[in-house]
Amino acid sequence: MANAIFDAQNACSAYLRLRMRLDWIEDILAVLHAGSLNRAAELRHLTQPAFSRRIQAIEEYVGVELLDRTHKPAQLSDAVLGQQEKLEHLATGLRDLLYELRHYDRLVKNRVVIASQHAITTSVAPALVKQIAADPNSHIRLRSANRSECLTLLMTKQVDVILIYRSPDEALPIDGAYLDRIDFGEELFVPVFGTHAIVDLMAQYESGELPIITYPPNVFLGEVIQREILPQLRARLFLKERTESALTLAVLQLALAGVGVAWIPQSLATKEIGYGNLTELSHLFGNARLRIDAVRLSGEKSAAEQNVWAVINTLASRSS
């Protein structure tokens, strides 16, 4: 028994070391592909200071300076640039190995990993997981992330299925030739405000001002607001941006508190609107339409993965 525990611990430790080494290589490749630390940090979903600390940690471990800091901005050293092809091959090999390890684990445990945008995690995903869980042999792991992270998780084979929003006239942001997609239906992106403070809001509106809550412009819902909502409002109102958050549930709470008008996926706001705690204001401030897509990589699938995809297809048919 003790030997079995020791072997399991060693296997877990080896997996974590492998994952760490791949992360290091992908950090270096991000700088190679992006051409700067700032852009590389964005690609790796990190702040620039955090990404710089990671590069320094790699340098300390290998005992070699990876960056030529005599240039402004800093650039990768010639030694690293000369190893790009080897780094690319090594990263591909490690990704494939990690995928095989994860895939084997999922086959053994009938585990399927789903990633969804934060708003979808709390609106659509619960009904989906409940339906899948009707099979006693299934095991679902649900991850929540922003849209770009969901896409990255899918393309690096860390998850089996993603649930993401897109605008109705927008193509999938990744190549569809090697993807399977199910249109899961439509969602309205509606403006709401705390009913208890609606009189004060209307007074501000009548004076030509509007307090609003926004999302960061580099997340999908922030892009939707900037593209489809705010230009029309700015033509007739002075917009006071009170605060911003990437988390839709936080934005919902801020709207309930009367901080400002917030645009929320309608399914998240329905309950509070029904209770009378929120007032929907689409007739005054406009809304946007969103599509929900379920996406997976094409190819051979386990029975558990096929079952999940069939459930998604059934639920999508009901909602259409």
Render pLDDT for 122-169 as a digit per residue (tens, 0 to 9). 888 888 888 887 777 778 889 998 898 999 899 888 899 999 999 998
CA distance 112 to 85: 33
Average pLDDT over every residue of 42-69: 80
CA dist 55 and 62 (Å) reads: 11
Instruction: Find the domain containing 272 and state its range.
Output: 187-290
Do 223 and 262 fall within a single domain? yes
d(CA 110, CA 103): 10
Please give the average per-residue pLDDT across 247-252, as a whole number: 91
CA distance 132 to 210: 43
Residue 199 lies in a domain: yes
Q: Which of 173, 195, 314 is nearest to 261 (CA)?
A: 195
In a domain, 122, yes or no: yes
Inter-residue contact 41 to 51 (CB < 8 Å): yes
Q: Per the domain annotation, does 156 fall within a domain? A: yes
Statement to judge: residues 301 and 168 lie in one domain: yes
Q: What is the mean pLDDT of the chain?
A: 84
pLDDT of 10:
45
Domain-located, residue 62: yes
Residues 259, 314 within the same domain = no
- Of 73, 97, 121, the residue at which a domain comes to its end is 97
Q: Are residues 298 and 285 in the same domain?
A: no
Asked if residue 53 and residue 23 are part of one domain, the reply reads yes
Dump pLDDT digits (tens) for 182-237: 998 889 999 999 999 999 999 999 999 999 999 998 888 999 999 999 999 999 99
In a domain, 102, yes or no: no
Chain CA centroid to CA 9, Å: 31
pLDDT of residue 107: 56
State the CATH number of the domain containing residue 302: 3.40.190.10
Two tokens, residue 127: 């009904």
Q: Are 255 and 194 in contact (CB under 8 A)?
A: yes
- Is residue 176 situated within a structural domain? yes
88 and 24 share one domain: yes
pLDDT at residue 261 greater than cutoff 50: yes
CA pair distance 252, 209, nearest whole angstrom = 21
Mean pLDDT score, 245-271: 93
Same domain, 136 and 156: yes
For residue 248, which of 276, 228, 224 has the smallest C-alpha distance? 224
Return the pLDDT at 5. 33
Instruction: Give the sign of the dihedral formed by CA 211, CA 193, CA 252, CA 262.
Output: negative
Mutual orientation of helices 84-109 and 2-34 as an angle, nearest 10°?
140
Distance CA 193, CA 263 (A): 9
Question: In terms of domains, do 300 and 180 share one?
Answer: yes
Same-domain check for residues 137 and 148: yes
Give the percent of the chain with pLDDT over 70.
Answer: 90
* 127, 210: one domain: no
**Which amino acid belongs to residue 319?**
S
The DSSP call for residue 259 is S
pLDDT at position 140 is 85
CATH code where residue 33 lies: 1.10.10.10
**Rounded Cα gap, residues 46 and 23, in angstroms:** 13
DSSP 228: I
Omega before residue 73 within 30° of 0, cis: yes
Tokens of 17: 């070391």
> 196, 279 in Cβ contact below 8 A?
no
Q: Which amino acid, residue 135?
A: D
Q: 101-115, 118-132, 306-320: lowest mean pLDDT where?
A: 101-115
Q: How many domains does the chain have?
A: 3
pLDDT band at residue 320 under the 50/70/90 scheme: low
Tell which of 64, 97, 130 closes a domain. Answer: 97
Residue 70 shares a structural domain with residue 213: no
40 and 77 assigned to the same domain? yes
Q: Who contacts 314 (Cβ-Cβ below 8 Å, separation ≥6)?
A: 131
Q: What value does the mean pLDDT take over residues 32-54?
A: 82
